[in-house]
Structure formats: structure tokens, C-alpha cells
């Protein structure tokens, strides 16, 4: 008989093994292959962390140079994919655009064997910023952008395509940190989706497409968009506190707070909050960052709920001129590394993931004749 799982949403249940990350178990609260995420965000570029997660080790200088050169060479988009992106409506959700773009890429550059899994992953890592920015600039600005930039990093490549000019060093730094913070997070909903798909021996593009679909939801990746939609309505910290108290009284869902695994704090929030403050000072902001801080204070005082990684990402992205609807696609550009590494890990020691369910329906009964129904 299958063991019944009592935890709601399978929280607290061990569903498999991974050597990729710890969440809520280490001194820092989050490590990638044994390295504290805070130290990685302070000392590394995202491409170094991607190399670590996907290939198992931090690269030396030559390996990093070679890896970045490979990724730069893979930023272009096939004509057929551009044509598909041009047909997607302007009001489509960008996560739907990425989901379609990933699926179309899988049709054009199908992973024929698991020997190609690293190349397929590197290709997606290189061109996901190209996919979302090509669609956005075409549908919103009427411009067919040249997606093959010479920017040194993925974060700079994204900002360059989005704004039509090379980003400032500060903005590239923040993007680098953001991508590192979102890169991997154990068996979250989207990663588990990817692993379930991988367990059927499906291809990498199908696994990633499914993961994008899971990340799209507001209870997962969409939380940063929801946080931005809320805080931009407040014109002062006092206004924010008044409105939030009303939301709490009405028992409305407030996004960007609490976490399924962390109990006291999210280590990623401390890092991105500092960068949000730097960006706030850089642009002369006197509202958005103070409002965000007051929201954090109210939620902790009233509910003992802490900000998760999504909350201060909202203001940080806003200060860099990134449209709210593109927040979650940035998450995809980063978490792809974790998804793909989990797919590879699942494939290396595979058994199909097929849990049992506790039946709560009717007992066995006869089928009545149609005249008796």
C-alpha cells in the first residue's frame, strides 16, 4: 500500500535527492553545490554560477572565457522563430511568449539524444533574452532588433536589447546578482515539474516548457509582478501602511511575503534589498524604496511574515526601467540553469515519478440505464 502524504501541497515531504542546492538547511539558508549564495553573489558573475550548477564546478578564468564566448555565439534566433514571435499579440503575457518560444526552438533544434543536453541548455540560456526582447521590441516599438550583441554577460545582453543601448555598469551588476539569486532553489514547483517531465525520458525543451508554465503562476514566479502592482499604487510610506492594514483586515492575499521552506527570513532578500537601495539613491527615488521598506515593516509587525526574494526585486527592476510584465521572464532566464541541471540529474539516475493518490470519491456502484438517470 502506498504511504499517504499528509502535508498540504506535499510541503515537508521528501520527493527525491539532489546534489544541486540546499534550501533552509545550511547556515546561509541557501547554497549551490556547497557554496553560500551570498558569497557567490558577491564574488561571481552569473555565467560562473551557471557553469557551477550545470557542469559541477566553478570555472577557472580560461573556462569562464570559453563558456561566455560560446554563449555569445548562440544569441541569434532562427528566422522561423522570429516569424512566430512576430505573430504573438502585443497583449500576450511574456511568460506565454517564452513558453511558445522555447517550444518552437525545440521544433527547430530538437534534442535528439541526451548527449546533446548541455548544448541544448546553453542554447536556451543564450537566446532566452533574445526571444523575449525580440517579441517585446517588435510588438511594443515596431522594431526588429538585432539580437546578436557583443555584451559580455547575459544580464547586459538583456538590458541592451530591451533599452536599445549598452547598460550602465551598475545596472549590469544588479542584473548579474539577480540572475545568481534566482538560479536554483531545490524542488520548487517549476523544478519539480521539469523533473517529472524528465522522468518520462522526454526531451529538454519539453521539460523546460513545462517548467515555464508552472513558473507563470502568481504563487510562484509571478509574485514579483504582483508585488510591483501593489507598491506602485502607494504614494508614501504612510499611505502604504494604511492600505496594507486594510488588506490584512480584509484577509486579502499580499504577494512577496513568506516562503514555503524558509521560516525566519529569505537569504536572497537581504542581498537584493541592498541593491534596490543603491538603485533608489542612484535615480533619486523618494517613494518606491521607502514604501517597500514600510511594507516589509508592517508585514513583520502584524503577521511575522518576511519578504521573500521577489519583493525587493520588484523595485530593483523598476529602477532599471524594466516593464513589470517582463519581471518573471527574467526569473526564467536565470532558473533555466537549475531546471536543466535537475533534468540532467534526473536522467542520470532515473525512475519515473508516479505518486499515488488518496481516493475521496464515490464507492463502487452500478451504471444505471440511461432511462433511469
182-203 burial, b if ≥16 CB within 10 A, otherwise e? bbbbbbbbbbbbbbbbbbeebb
Q: Which of 51, 171, 259, 313 is catalytic?
A: 259
Cβ atoms 52, 33 nearer than 8 A: yes
3-state secondary structure of 130: helix
Which residues, 6 or more positions from 293, have their beta carbon under 8 angstroms from its beta carbon? 237
Which residues, 6 or more positions from 103, have their beta carbon under 8 angstroms from its beta carbon? 205, 206, 209
Separation of alpha carbons 300 and 38, rounded Å: 23
Place of cell 544588479: 174
Decide if 220 is catalytic: no
Decide if 235 is catalytic: no
Q: Which of 122, 185, 310, 342 is catalytic?
A: 310
| Vertex 153 angle, CA 151 and 158, to 5° | 75
Q: Which of 183, 139, 144, 179 is nearest to 159 (CA)?
A: 179
Tell me which residues are annotated as active site: 259, 310
Amino acid at each position: 500500500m502506498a504511504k499517504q502524504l499528509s502535508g498540504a501541497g506535499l510541503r515537508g515531504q521528501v520527493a527525491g535527492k539532489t546534489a544541486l542546492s540546499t534550501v533552509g538547511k545550511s547556515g546561509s539558508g541557501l547554497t549551490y553545490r556547497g557554496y553560500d549564495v551570498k558569497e557567490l553573489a558577491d564574488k561571481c558573475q552569473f555565467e560562473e554560477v551557471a557553469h557551477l550548477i550545470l557542469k559541477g564546478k566553478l570555472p577557472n578564468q580560461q573556462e569562464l572565457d570559453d563558456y561566455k564566448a560560446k554563449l555569445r555565439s548562440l544569441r541569434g534566433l532562427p528566422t522561423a522563430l522570429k516569424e512566430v514571435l512576430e505573430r504573438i499579440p502585443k497583449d500576450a503575457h511574456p511568460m506565454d511568449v517564452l513558453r511558445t518560444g522555447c517550444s518552437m526552438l525545440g521544433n527547430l533544434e530538437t534534442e535528439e539524444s541526451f548527449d546533446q543536453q548541455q548544448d541544448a541548455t546553453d542554447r536556451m540560456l543564450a537566446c532566452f533574452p533574445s526571444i523575449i526582447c525580440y517579441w517585446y521590441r517588435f510588438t511594443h516599438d515596431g522594431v526588429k532588433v538585432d539580437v546578436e550583441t557583443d555584451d559580455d554577460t547575459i544580464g547586459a545582453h538583456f538590458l541592451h536589447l530591451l533599452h536599445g543601448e549598452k547598460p550602465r555598469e551598475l545596472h549590469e551588476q544588479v542584473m548579474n546578482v539577480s540572475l545568481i539569486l534566482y538560479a536554483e532553489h531545490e524542488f520548487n514547483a517549476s523544478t519539480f515539474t521539469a523533473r517529472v517531465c524528465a522522468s518520462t525520458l522526454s526531451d529538454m525543451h519539453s521539460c523546460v516548457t513545462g517548467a515555464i508554465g508552472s513558473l507563470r503562476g502568481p504563487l510562484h514566479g509571478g509574485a514579483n509582478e504582483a508585488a510591483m502592482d501593489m507598491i506602485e499604487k502607494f504614494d508614501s510610506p504612510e499611505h502604504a501602511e494604511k492600505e496594507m492594514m486594510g488588506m490584512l483586515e480584509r484577509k486579502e492575499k499580499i504577494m512577496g511575503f513568506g516562503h514555503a521552506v524558509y521560516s525566519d527570513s529569505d537569504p536572497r532578500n537581504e542581498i537584493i534589498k541592498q541593491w534596490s537601495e543603491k538603485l533608489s539613491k542612484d535615480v533619486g527615488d523618494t517613494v518606491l524604496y521607502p514604501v517597500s521598506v514600510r511594507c516589509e515593516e508592517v508585514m513583520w509587525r502584524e503577521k511575522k511574515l518576511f519578504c521573500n526574494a521577489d519583493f525587493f526585486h520588484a523595485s530593483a527592476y523598476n529602477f532599471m526601467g524594466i516593464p513589470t510584465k517582463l519581471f518573471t521572464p527574467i526569473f526564467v532566464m536565470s532558473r533555466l540553469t537549475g531546471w536543466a541541471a535537475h533534468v540532467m540529474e534526473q536522467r542520470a539516475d532515473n525512475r519515473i515519478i508516479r505518486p499515488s493518490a488518496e481516493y475521496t470519491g464515490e464507492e463502487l456502484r452500478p451504471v444505471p440505464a440511461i432511462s433511469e438517470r
